[in-house]
Amino acid sequence: MLTPFDKQRRLQTSKDFLELVGDNIDKICDRIVTVDETWVRQYDPESKQESMQWTKKGERPPKKFKIQKSASKLMATIFWDCEGVLLIDYLPKGTTMNGQYYSNLLAQARKAVVQKRRGKLSRGVLFLQDNASVHRARVSRQALKNTGFSEIDHPPYSPDLAPSDYFLFSNLKKELRGRRFVDDNQMKMAVESHFDCKGILFGRFEGVIHQM
């Protein structure tokens, strides 16, 4: 349900990015850092497809009871690039994600780039974020400017430009779904363990980008 203006903006954004890339897709992909937020629950039941079981011909499948998601959850903000995760922040319970909080995260993300990606900052970081109101707040805009990152335009309603949604979070949720965690600390350990073991996963993602 895009308006003519939305369509034109998406077209122009794509043209601008193609012009930026030129013949240097490897160098451009290496410079991109992206961020997004997601809820992580202490228990998220498997989907119907994930819980399907093989049965013999004529055998009735086992009965399954509807299970609710746990009320206990944390908001995770993840900064990452084609090499892996740079920073994970868990919003403290009772805290609101606002412009000032996000500004502090941007400063931490810059430090993470300096510490974990030697030379990336000097090559010029291309920063991709969605249009959430906290990202567009004045204090957030100033904080982003202070990092020295160059922002890539992200027009509204562009899931194809939000790799966290179709790649990072989907793989994370798939692994965590169906597992029960006794507390938030155990849940955090599971999240971080997932990313620590996924070097190949990010290499595969980079290969997908090269084919697009």
DSSP string, 99-155: HHHHHHHHHHHHHHHHHHSTTHHHH--EEE----HHHHSHHHHHHHHHHTPEEPP--
Q: What are the tokens at 61?
A: 């499948």
Distance between CA 171 and CA 55 in Å, rounded?
Answer: 27
Whole-number pLDDT of residue 107: 98
Task: Convert the pLDDT of each residue in 36-68 to its tens digit.
Answer: 999 998 877 555 454 445 556 666 665 555 555
Domain edges within the chain:
24-41+68-210
Sheet holding 32-41, edge to edge: 84-90, 73-81, 32-41, 126-128, 150-151
Residue 134 clears pLDDT 60, i.e. is over it? yes
DSSP 51: T
The single-letter code of the amino acid at 196 is D
- Cα 60 off chain centre by: 40
Q: Is the pTM of this model over 0.75?
A: yes
Question: Which superfamily does CATH assign the domain made up of 24-41+68-210 to?
Answer: Ribonuclease H-like superfamily/Ribonuclease H (3.30.420.10)
Which position has the higher pLDDT, 45 or 120?
120
List, for residues 4-22, the tens digit of each pLDDT value.
998 898 899 889 989 999 8
Per DSSP, what are the bridge partners of residue 35?
79
Helix (H, G, I), strand (E, B) or coil at 77: strand
Residue 156 pLDDT class (50, 70, 90 cuts): confident
